[in-house]
Amino acid sequence: MKIVAFAGTNSPTSINKVLVEYVAKQFDSNNVEFLDLNDYEMPIYGVHREQQSGVPQEAMNFAEKIDSADLVIMSLAEHNSSYSVAFKNVFDWVSRIQGRPHWGDKDMFLMATAPGPKGGANVLAAATARFPHSGANILETFSLPKFGSNFDVAKGILDEEKAKELEFKIAKIKEEVAAKANV
């Protein structure tokens, strides 16, 4: 199973990056490719820019990475109750590639975390509602509230209930993706 994993932010110190790396390592880590949205930085999307220059190569490269995956693992940063600008811009440009759904009809494990008690619930809800219309097959979602007190780099998720929830969801995803591979 080929996995592409990334955080929906351009912050080099993102807690969502920490979470997505931790979760992706629970799968076959030899087959995980971590993406950094900083490698896909493009001009802010605008129709005039698209008409002048077309879709940037960075958007095509990002789409190729998604297309190469059997599973996409993503943890979205929440900025003002929505997507980060860095993520939204990549999403907007990829949506302009003709002849393909944004997410390439890929299976997805969608997550979010935040320092506060809602754990990125707003951005997770927005993505859960939107992404299936854009070619994502969301297998599971996971939200980790109060990241600072619920996660330790050496120990992982400290909240026992959230740790069990994540473990269950990872097992379920592994089973679903393996079943599809055997069909």
pLDDT at 87 over 90: yes
Beta 151-152 vs 156-157: how paired, if at all? antiparallel
Residue 42: pLDDT band (50, 70, 90) is very high
3-class SS at 23? helix
Residue 179's pLDDT is: 85
Digit-coded pLDDT (tens) for 132-168: 999 999 999 999 999 999 999 999 999 999 999 999 9
Residue 115's pLDDT is: 97
Q: Which of 91, 45, 48, 98 is nearest to 66 (CA)?
A: 91
- Quick check: 92 and 13 in contact, CB under 8 A? no
**52-56 long-range CB contacts below 8 Å, 24 or more apart?**
55/93, 55/96, 55/97, 56/93
Mean pLDDT of the chain: 95
pLDDT at 181 over 90: no
Residue 8's pLDDT is: 98
Digit-coded pLDDT (tens) for 90-121: 999 999 999 989 999 999 999 999 999 999 99
Mean per-residue pLDDT, 64-77: 97
pTM: 0.95
Residue 180's pLDDT is: 84
Residue 183: pLDDT band (50, 70, 90) is low
Residue 122's pLDDT is: 97
Residue 28's pLDDT is: 75
